[in-house]
Amino acid sequence: MSTISAPTVTLSNGVPMPQVGLGTWPMDDAQAAVAVASALGVGYRLIDTAENYGNERGVGEGIRKSGVARGEIFLTTKFNRQWHSVDGARQACEASLRRLGVDYLDLLLIHWPNPDQDRYVEAFHGMTRLLEAGLVRAIGTSNFKVTHLQRLFDAGLVPHVNQIQLDPYHLRSDIVAVHRARGIVTEAWSPLGRARGMTDDPAIVAAAERHGRTPAQVVLRWHVQSGYVPIPKSADPARQAQNLDVFGFTLSDEEMAALGRLDRPDPGMLDSDVFGH
């Protein structure tokens, strides 16, 4: 099978990050090992996992099985609220490194801000030390709202990446505007939507028909054309290849605008002021 290569975006510290990656939630270790090896074989070079997914060992096994050199892979993981302290960030990082079987991470994220605990600023200070020590190449946040990011800015801290739920139905325009102003890369989890139905939207289906692509490819193309880094999850090699193959066509200004008008309220959306682990 011929491989597909994704272009990269450059983080504010100069580190290149592939513009499409593989999400691995909710795979277990066995599923992750197979899916990661398959994805790397197709051409993916960005792999996303987390302590909370419980599949870091499987992700590491998939990397080793793939035969792709560690230096070619951009590996991301995230840590939970119990590690929200300066020393805790290092403990979390070292534990993830052991589970993954690697000696450094490309990106380490605070998984949720957990503002009730109010220790994410300390955790981020801890991650800056990991950066200085060479254990991680970049640091960031996940599920941080503008108010959470502002607390970091006030402490003189700016994440390289903020990974958030984002798709044409959840535009997150307030957060994206802050990212752009501060040079933070926007990474999108569940980029194809958490619930079924978005890829049946008439605006998305119409664009797919015009370009001879799948609706999912149109949505992922919208992400990359917007400058985002989507990390769709798939364990199916054919679907993995489709999800990565979004760099051979361009949506028109009108199509981009049509997808940019699909934002809608979602009362079921996880609220990071109250949800977290």
Q: What integer pLDDT is reported at residue 2 of this predicted model?
A: 64
For the chain, how many structural domains are there in total? 1
- 260 within domain boundaries: no
Domain span including residue 190: 8-194
- 121 within domain boundaries: yes
- Look at residue 230 and give its three-state secondary structure: strand
pLDDT digits (tens, 9 = 90+) for 154-175: 999 999 999 999 999 999 999 9
- Closest of 52, 47, 55, 37 to residue 76, by C-alpha: 47
pLDDT digits (tens, 9 = 90+) for 74-91: 999 999 999 999 999 999
pLDDT digits (tens, 9 = 90+) for 182-211: 999 999 999 999 877 899 999 999 999 999
Find the mean pLDDT for residues 235-260.
97
State the catalytic residue, choosing from 53, 120, 169, 228.
53
Query: Mean pLDDT score of the chain, rounded to an integer?
Result: 97
Say whether 53 is catalytic: yes
- 80 within domain boundaries: yes
β 8-10/16-18 pair status: antiparallel
CATH assignment at residue 65:
3.20.20.100
- 216 within domain boundaries: no
Q: Tell me which residue has tokens 């700016």.
A: 158
Find the mean pLDDT for residues 95-123.
98
Report d(CA 145, CA 276) in Å as an integer. Answer: 13
Comparing 10-14, 34-38, 191-195, the range with the smallest average pLDDT is: 191-195
Instruction: For the chain, count helices (H), then strands (E).
Output: 10, 10
Tokens of 220: 């992922």
Q: Is the pLDDT of residue 50 over 70?
A: yes
Let me know: does 49 contact 77? Beta carbons within 8 Å. Answer: yes
In a 13 Å sphere around the CA of 177, the CA atoms on its Cβ side amount to: 4
Report d(CA 89, CA 93) in Å as an integer. Answer: 6
pTM of the model: 0.97
